[in-house]
């Protein structure tokens, strides 16, 4: 890149390129996450999922996108036209803006803000305006109820999720996402192992924030039809959809950065080299995995019943070989390319793992009721997050000021918080009937 563009304007050009890439790739990625979701759901529900459009349904997202774009754009007669028009734009813009501070790798980041985390949290929660405005402007009771639920839910769970994040921030000592990852590298472990309860609180909070089951009350299909999206159709509807999936990737990205070591590979300090080369064993791993998958595909290909499926299997195997080749080539390329490719790879692997947890939870649990959701947030998660925060802070003081062994203090803090969690849960279980008798809260 340095040869093509004068170095003086590089700092301005590169972010623009990154921005264009993100805006171009994100809808596609959201589409394929939907496909992944449907396939995972099908797998859990003993069926196949989309199989018609393209081999194994691989072109389904594109077909869906085309369908949505061609659909009639209906604006209800009594809707507030301007607000109805603006609302999805607000949602999707805020979701996209949040990506500007997200580090996909050590090099791939549009802007390394020194308050990057705050920026992402602030911008992505602005997206709620799109939901509330859309629900209100639709002039439908279902939409209104969905929007109100969404607002209340976001306020409650953003607090809990934020407090969960702070416990990791205490350890990192910075709000810059790059430095948070660097801190995990320096301290030699991902923060999920130091503050598991903080991670748990953020996991629950982020599911609720993105309106995913079992906290999908704002769009609870069986109750509110589609919640705030009820009156939307076609392109506007797909904007909301895009915003939802973009937000999912954002919360997964935040969790990855703060708790799962960002773009760091597992065991970043383990630097034994492959015999006879300068390649570290851990860096060789992704290529090996791809190669293994490729061989598995080639082994499966002749066993497929239909010719087209044989071809597809072989193609997937070929793609894996190509990916493995890229990974290997990157190893021997310039330092920047190596860091970029491997950072991006590990980051996306972790994001996908986090999203898989989302899907898993969604297809396993029934939906909470609104009062139960609020009770869980205010009476369990927020107190727990506060206790966790104090425990982590105390542990940090103990290790820094009094010279206690850091890992031991962290484990003690976690055990203490777990005890509090159990106490909170049992207290809730005892009080639930009383609240019920009083007519909920």
Partner 1 sequence: MTDTPTSGLSNVETTVLGADEIILNMGPQHPSTHGVLRVKLKLDGERVVDSECIIGYLHRGVEKIAEHRSYQQFAPYVDRMDYVAAVSNGLGYCEAVEKLLGAEAPPRARVVRTILTELQRIASHLLWLGTHALDIGALTPVFYCFREREEILKIFEKYCGARLTTHAFRIGGLQYETYDGLEADVKRFCDDFTHRIDEYETLLTENRIWVGRTKGVGILSAADAIALGVTGPVLRASGVKWDLRKAMPYAAYADYQFDIPTRETGDTYDRYIVRMQEMRQSQRICLQAIENIPSGPIMAKVGKVLKPPPGEVYHSIEAPKGELGYYIVSDGTTQAYRVRVRPPSFINLQAFDKMARGSLVADVVAIIGTIDIVLGEVDR
The H or E element spanning position 349 is helix 335-364
Q: Pick from 187, 271, 277, 364 the residue near partner 1 by CB under 8 A.
A: 364
Q: Find the helix packing angle between 234-259 and 60-70, rounded to 10°.
A: 140
Locate all alpha helices (DSSP H) within 104-233, ordered by sequence.
116-137, 141-172, 177-187, 191-194, 196-209, 221-224
Q: Pick from 47, 52, 303, 307 the residue near partner 1 by CB under 8 A.
A: 47
Long-range contacts of 67-72 (CB under 8 A, 24+ apart): 68/234, 68/235, 68/237, 68/238, 69/234, 69/235, 69/238, 70/234, 71/233, 71/234, 71/235, 72/233, 72/234
CB-based contact 214:368 (threshold 8 Å): yes
Q: Pick from 73, 112, 186, 432 the residue near partner 1 by CB under 8 A.
A: 432
CB-based contact 146:240 (threshold 8 Å): no
Binding-residue pattern over the window 13 to 42 for partner 1, x denoting contact by CB under 8 A: ----------------------------x-
Binding-residue pattern over the window 199 to 218 for partner 1, x denoting contact by CB under 8 A: --------------xx-xx-
Q: How far apart are CA 317 and CA 27, in angstroms?
A: 26
Q: Pick from 67, 141, 269, 273 the residue near partner 1 by CB under 8 A.
A: 141
Q: How far apart are CA 270 and CA 302, in angstroms?
A: 40
Binding-residue pattern over the window 168 to 197 for partner 1, x denoting contact by CB under 8 A: ------------------------------
Give just the sign of the alpha carbon dihedral 31, 83, 121, 111.
Answer: positive
222 makes contact with partner 1 (CB under 8 A): yes
Q: Which is nearer to partner 1, 179 or 223 (CB)?
A: 223
Piece in contact with partner 1 (CB under 8 A), picked from 156-164, 252-260, 370-378, 380-388 = 370-378
Q: Pick from 73, 371, 400, 423 the residue near partner 1 by CB under 8 A.
A: 371
Q: Pick from 369, 415, 422, 423 the residue near partner 1 by CB under 8 A.
A: 369
Q: Which is nearer to partner 1, 235 or 365 (CB)?
A: 365
Where on the chain is the footprint of partner 1 (CB under 8 A)? Answer: 41, 44-47, 78-80, 82-83, 136-137, 139-142, 144-145, 213-214, 216-217, 220-225, 362-372, 432-433, 436, 439-440
């Amino acid at each position: 890149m340095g040869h093509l563009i004068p170095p003086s304007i590089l700092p301005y050009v590169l972010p623009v390129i990154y921005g264009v890439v993100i805006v171009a790739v994100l809808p596609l990625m959201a589409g394929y996450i939907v496909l992944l979701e449907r396939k995972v759901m099908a797998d859990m529900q003993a069926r196949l999922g989309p199989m018609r459009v393209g081999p194994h349904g691989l072109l389904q997202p594109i077909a869906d996108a085309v369908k949505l774009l061609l659909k009639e754009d209906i604006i209800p007669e009594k809707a507030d036209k301007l607000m109805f028009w603006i609302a999805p734009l607000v949602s999707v813009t805020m979701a996209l803006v949040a990506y500007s501070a997200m580090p996909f790798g050590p090099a791939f980041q549009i802007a390394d803000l020194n308050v990057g985390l705050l920026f992402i949290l602030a911008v992505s929660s602005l997206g709620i305006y799109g939901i509330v405005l859309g629900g209100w402007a639709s002039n439908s009771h279902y939409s209104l109820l969905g929007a109100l639920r969404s607002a209340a839910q976001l306020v409650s769970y953003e607090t809990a999720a934020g407090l969960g994040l702070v416990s990791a921030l205490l350890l990192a000592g910075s709000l810059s996402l790059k430095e948070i990852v660097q801190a995990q590298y320096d301290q030699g472990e991902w923060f999920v192992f130091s503050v598991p309860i903080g991670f748990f609180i953020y996991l629950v909070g982020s599911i609720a924030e993105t309106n995913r089951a079992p906290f999908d009350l704002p769009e609870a299909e069986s109750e509110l039809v589609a919640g705030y999206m009820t009156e939307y159709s076609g392109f506007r509807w797909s904007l909301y959809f895009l915003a939802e999936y973009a937000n999912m990737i954002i919360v997964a990205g935040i969790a990855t950065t703060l708790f799962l070591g960002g773009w760091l590979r597992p065991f970043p300090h383990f630097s034994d080299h492959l015999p006879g080369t300068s390649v570290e064993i851990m860096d060789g791993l992704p290529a090996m995995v791809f190669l293994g998958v490729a061989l598995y595909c080639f082994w499966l290909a002749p066993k497929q019943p239909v010719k087209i499926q044989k071809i597809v299997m072989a193609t997937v195997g070929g793609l894996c070989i190509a990916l493995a080749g890229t990974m290997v080539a990157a190893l021997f390329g310039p330092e920047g390319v190596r860091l970029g490719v491997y950072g991006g790879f590990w980051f996306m692997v972790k994001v996908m793992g986090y999203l898989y947890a989302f899907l898993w939870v969604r297809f396993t649990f029934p939906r909470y009721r609104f009062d139960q959701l609020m009770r869980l947030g205010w009476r369990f998660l927020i107190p727990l997050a506060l206790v966790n925060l104090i425990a982590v802070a105390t542990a940090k003081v103990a290790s820094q000021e009094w010279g206690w062994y850091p890992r031991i203090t962290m484990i003690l803090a976690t055990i203490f918080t777990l005890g509090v969690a159990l106490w909170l849960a049992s207290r809730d279980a005892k009080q639930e009937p009383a609240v019920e008798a009083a007519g909920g809260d």
